[in-house]
Amino acid sequence: MAHADRKTRRVKRGIDVLRDPEINKSIAFTDAERDALGLTGLLPSGCDTEETQVQRVMLQLGTKNTDLERYIYLNNLIEINEKLFYKVILSDLPRFLPIMYTPTVGEACQKFSHIFQRPRGMYLSLKHKGRVKEVLRNWPKKDVRVICVTSGGRILGLGDLGANGMGIPIGKLQLFTACAAVPPQYLLPVHIDCGTTNQALINDPLYFGLHLQRVPIAEMDEFVDEFVTAVQEVFPGCCIHFEDWAGVDAMRLLERYRDRVSCFNDDMQCTGAVVLAGLFSALRVTGGKLIDQRILFFGAGSAAVGIANLITSAMTLEG
């Protein structure tokens, strides 16, 4: 399937090449490439190197006053020239990670419907009940390896942001590519819209999610089950990454699907693994055993519960 996608892209010519962020190099196309692809005359005469393109982006970023403005700029860049976007991010990861993900993504999600320019990923809502499989087939890539999906029910520490929470799956999968070199064509961010408990969003005319209160658990579970089942058929072998669901939903869904399909919950499992690794590393310095430690949790969100569960398991194994 991936080969078919590449074959389709190769036949593009002229302006269609410049409109495809996966293959567009803008002024970096050589004269020979411009002739071969029908781009001659559609670009300025000069030919940039990748380094020159990065310098131009850095110059333009310097005109932005806030990290949110830089976030918006960079997410527009990825829609124009995907390769350049990642070239910029990788040029200075410590600088750009806080812009593309936490903490800036939190503010971006709070304002996501207001700063929205063009869609990324897929938006599934209760309006699609009974035909999720059909809707998933609208995604242009047929070889999807990882889906990062959220309900927006508990975005970072900001509460229920509904469809505005889509910034989290988008940003998290960009990290998959930037930090782990996972090809972006294999990644799909998804938002499942079952309403929101955030009345301010429901009252906001610019909010682009469903303007209704979050539905009861049973109705949401039925829709999520349709989604998980559809993924197995449309994208066989795909791993489902549950991200930023409300705590009770996160725990329930993980228990339901962890032994049935390839899936994990980032907040409950991955965060817990990192914290546990940190504790073991600290104990190498301070001495002592994990079972002798007293650990305080602030709050009982999905991450805290996941960390507690993993630490408890480790203590049990330690004896």
pLDDT in tens, 189-208: 999 999 999 999 999 999 99
**What tens digit of pLDDT does each residue of 252-304 get?**
999 999 999 999 998 889 999 999 999 999 999 999 899 999 999 988 777 88
| Rounded percentage of the chain residues whose pLDDT exceeds 90 | 88
User: Which part of the chain has CATH 1.20.1370.30?
Assistant: 2-104
Q: How far is CA 123 from CA 19, 80, 101, 127, 254, in A?
A: 22, 21, 20, 11, 21
Q: What percent of the chain has pLDDT over 70?
A: 97
User: Three-state SS for 150?
Assistant: strand
Q: Are strands 239-242 and 146-150 parallel, antiparallel or unpaired?
A: parallel
CATH 3.40.50.10380 region(s) of the chain? 117-261
Question: Which pLDDT does position 318 carry in this prediction?
Answer: 87
Rounded distance, CA 265 to CA 244, Å? 9
Segment holding 188, helix H or strand E: strand 187-193
CATH architecture assignment, domain 2-104: Up-down Bundle (1.20)
Question: Rounded distance, CA 270 to CA 143, Å?
Answer: 25
DSSP state of 52: H
Please check the confidence at residue 3 and state whether its pLDDT lies above 90: no
Cross-strand bridge partners of residue 165: none
Residue 299 pLDDT: 82
Helix (H) or strand (E) holding 18: helix 15-18
Structure tokens at 151: 């309900």
Q: Which pTM value belongs to this model?
A: 0.90
Catalytic annotation, residues: 101, 172
pLDDT of residue 8: 46
For residue 201, the tally of other CB atoms under 10 A from its CB is: 24
Mean per-residue pLDDT, 16-22: 97
Per DSSP, the residues of 85-151 read HHHHHHHTHHHHHHHHSTTHHHHHHHTHHHH--S--SEEEEGGGTT-HHHHHTTSS-S---EEEEE-
Distance from C-alpha of 66 to C-alpha of 111, rounded to nearest angstrom: 14
pLDDT tens digit sequence for 166-178: 999 999 999 999 9
Amino acid at 17: V
Residue 29 pLDDT: 97
> In a 3-state reduction of DSSP, which class is residue 189?
strand
- Of 235, 215, 26, which is closest to residue 122 (Cα–Cα)? 235
Spatial separation of the C-alpha atoms in residues 84 and 58, rounded to whole Å:
11
pLDDT at 9 exceeding the cut of 60: no
Q: What is the mean pLDDT of residues 104-131?
A: 97
pLDDT attached to residue 10: 56
Q: Which fold has domain 117-261?
A: Rossmann fold (3.40.50)
Residues 6+ apart with CB under 8 A from 319: 291
What DSSP state is assigned to residue 184?
G
pLDDT band at residue 243 using 50, 70 and 90 as cut-offs = very high
With a cut of 70, say whether residue 7 has pLDDT above it.
Answer: no
Q: What mean pLDDT do residues 97-102 have?
A: 97
**Please, which pLDDT band fits residue 2 given cuts at 50, 70 and 90?**
very low
| Vertex 63: Cα angle to 62 and 67 (nearest 5) | 70
